Amino acid sequence: MLDTLDILVGFTLVMLIMSMAVTMLTQLIGSALLNLRGQALRIGTSRLLALLDRGLTVGEARAIADHILRNPLVGQPRVFSDAHRVASIVHREELIKLLLDFAAGGEAERASNQEVVNIDDLRHKLRRSLRDNGIDDPAAVLEQVRNAVIELERTSPELSHSMRLNTAILTFAASDFLSKLNSWFDQTIDRVSEIFTSRTRMVTAVISIVLAFVLQLDAISLINRLSVDDELRNRLVASAIERVERTEAEATPGAAVEKFEVPAPSGGADLGNGVAPAAEPDEANTELRRRLDAIRDSGLDDLEGYGLVSFPRSFDEWAARWTITEPGGDAELSIFMRLFGILLTAAVLSLGAPFWYSALRDLVKLRSMIARKDDAERAERQTSQAPPAGAATIPPQYRGGEAGDLEPAG
């Protein structure tokens, strides 16, 4: 029983370490390279704009959304470039101001360095859409909103900036445009969160498959090895117990494993923990190195030391690992079983680090209970006790003679 549980503990620890690497790679690729949050926010913003007026086509709404979300006031600066990526967060009041400013060609629009071929045509169509929805002069509305915010700051300093801005917009921008945008904003952000989550899961699945194939990590072979290698199994169990105890002691409840999920929106399209400040190239490189070091420090070095994973240094080295060296074995069947084991590894890795940490914590607790029970039973068996009343004894006629001789005496 305890050996079977140790195999499960060792397997779960390996999957936890690998899934943590998958999670960190997903964060790195999804944020730094693909900007999944910004792409999802652009889709949601374009759909919201298309709802305002049928005069804006889906393509025009997408172009406007892409332009305003790259504004330096909300967009994320690119490394080694003056251009900006699509913002991953925008609040409702910010979106309203950016739309009005774009239609009016205001200060925020003049600060933008994004070049759009048909920007004048897009501005004209958005201005017409605003006029059809009750806002004839976007520039005048923006000026009234700014003046109202200053006045509220003077008369009601206890109010937060967002409350002052929201009050000013509700007072001077009240129109069909505002009612449509406010009534559909929260629902649209919910859809944005769903888009971001689904795309993140796709990236996680792809990274799991790639990592499993690069390392050729076979879940079936791993279980078989743990079942016969007592030393490896004991080392993994000791590492698992130490990891769980350290995490439970240092981490706050419910935050033992970093989760990669979308927080619930509240008044803004916040798909992260906030907007990071503009990073210089050296700072960006340092952050990249820090993330890569964190991936290895999560336990991959330990798995390499155990001989469970090994990063190939070349394609030839990776291809050579597929060679079947077992004599007398069916090569095609062995390769098929290895492929199945690697795909199984990729499937279980996509479950995520929180799942595997929870499983490891429960298995370690169960193992501790069973180990204490086995120790108590062993101690009880080793303790000399008088035979209880009515216990079976050897009849006298079978006693005597040499040890092990049960023939009747005489």
Read off the amino acid at residue 92.
R
Q: How far apart are CA 209 and CA 344, in angstroms?
A: 9
Q: Give 260-305 pLDDT, tens digit per residue.
A: 333 333 334 443 333 333 344 444 445 545 555 555 556 677 787 7
203 half-sphere exposure, CB direction, 13 A CA radius: 22
Q: Please tell me the least confidently modeled range out of 124-128, 208-212, 386-390.
A: 386-390
Q: How far apart are CA 42 and CA 68, in angstroms?
A: 10
Q: Are 152 and 215 contained in the same domain?
A: no
Q: How far apart are CA 410 and CA 203, in angstroms?
A: 85
Asked if 14 and 62 count as a contact pair (C-beta separation under 8 A), the reply is no
Query: Which residues does 167 contact at the CB level (< 8 Å), separation at least 6?
Result: 148, 152, 159
Q: In sequence order, what E strands does 175-292 have?
A: none
The tokens for 251 are 């981490």
**Is 410 inside any structural domain?**
no
Q: Can you give the pLDDT at residue 346?
A: 92
Q: Are 304 and 280 contained in the same domain?
A: yes
Q: Are 250 and 331 contained in the same domain?
A: yes
The tokens for 272 are 């992260």
DSSP per residue, 72-118: TTTSEEPTTSS-EEPPS--BHHHHHHHHHHHHHT-HHHHT-----TT
Q: Which domain holds residue 304?
A: 2-27+195-374
Residue 209: pLDDT over 90: yes
Q: Are 165 and 233 contained in the same domain?
A: no
Query: Which residues does 239 contact at the CB level (< 8 Å), separation at least 6?
Result: 13, 302
Residue 99: exposure state from Cβ atoms within 10 A (0-12, 13-18, ≥19)? buried
Q: In whole angstroms, how far apart are CA 199 and each of 86, 204, 209, 351? A: 16, 9, 16, 15
Q: Are 162 and 186 contained in the same domain?
A: yes
Q: Please tell me the least confidently modeled range out of 179-193, 253-267, 328-342.
A: 253-267
Residue 216 binned pLDDT confidence (cut-offs 50, 70, 90): confident
Asked if 293 and 227 count as a contact pair (C-beta separation under 8 A), the reply is no
The pLDDT mean for the chain works out to 78
**Is 399 inside any structural domain?**
no
**Is 404 inside any structural domain?**
no
Residue 203: pLDDT over 70: yes
Asked if 200 and 260 count as a contact pair (C-beta separation under 8 A), the reply is yes
Q: How many domains does the chain have?
A: 2
Query: Which residues does 153 contact at the CB level (< 8 Å), separation at least 6?
Result: 159, 161, 164
**Is 383 inside any structural domain?**
no
Q: How far apart are CA 163 and CA 397, in angstroms?
A: 100
> Of the residues 193, 225, 260, which one is the last residue of a structural domain?
193
More confident residue, 79 or 166: 166
> Of the residues 178, 193, 208, which one is the last residue of a structural domain?
193
Q: Are 129 and 224 contained in the same domain?
A: no
Q: Are 244 and 368 contained in the same domain?
A: yes
Interval 71-87 mean pLDDT: 75
**Is 268 inside any structural domain?**
yes
Q: Give 330-381 pLDDT, tens digit per residue.
A: 666 778 888 899 999 999 998 888 899 899 989 988 888 887 887 677 777 7
Q: Are 233 and 361 contained in the same domain?
A: yes
Phi and psi, residue 84, nearest 5°: -125, 145
Q: How far apart are CA 64 and CA 170, in angstroms?
A: 23
Asked if 100 and 133 count as a contact pair (C-beta separation under 8 A), the reply is no
> Of the residues 172, 193, 214, which one is the last residue of a structural domain?
193
Q: Are 80 and 215 contained in the same domain?
A: no
**Is 408 inside any structural domain?**
no
Residue 404: pLDDT over 70: no
Residue 8 binned pLDDT confidence (cut-offs 50, 70, 90): very high
More confident residue, 259 or 380: 380
Q: How far apart are CA 252 and CA 320, in angstroms?
A: 45
Asked if 69 and 90 count as a contact pair (C-beta separation under 8 A), the reply is yes
- Please report the sign of the dihedral spanned by the C-alpha atoms of residue 309, residue 313, residue 315, residue 319: negative
Q: Are 263 and 325 contained in the same domain?
A: yes
Q: How far apart are CA 64 and CA 179, in angstroms?
A: 20
Residue 325 binned pLDDT confidence (cut-offs 50, 70, 90): low
Q: How far apart are CA 395 and CA 376, in angstroms?
A: 33
Q: How many CB atoms lie within 10 A of CB 1?
A: 9
Residue 111: exposure state from Cβ atoms within 10 A (0-12, 13-18, ≥19)? exposed
| 3 state SS of 185 | helix
**Is 401 inside any structural domain?**
no
Residue 402 binned pLDDT confidence (cut-offs 50, 70, 90): low
**Is 398 inside any structural domain?**
no
Residue 390 binned pLDDT confidence (cut-offs 50, 70, 90): low
| 3 state SS of 29 | helix
Q: Are 177 and 247 contained in the same domain?
A: no
Q: Can you give the pLDDT at residue 110?
A: 73
Q: Give 89-137 pLDDT, tens digit per residue.
A: 888 888 999 899 888 887 777 777 677 668 888 888 888 888 888 888 9
Phi and psi, residue 214, nearest 5°: -65, -45
Q: How far apart are CA 395 and CA 410, in angstroms?
A: 14
Q: Give 20-76 pLDDT, tens digit per residue.
A: 888 888 888 888 788 888 899 999 988 888 887 767 788 888 888 888 888 888 877
Q: Are 17 and 49 contained in the same domain?
A: no
Residue 177: pLDDT over 70: yes
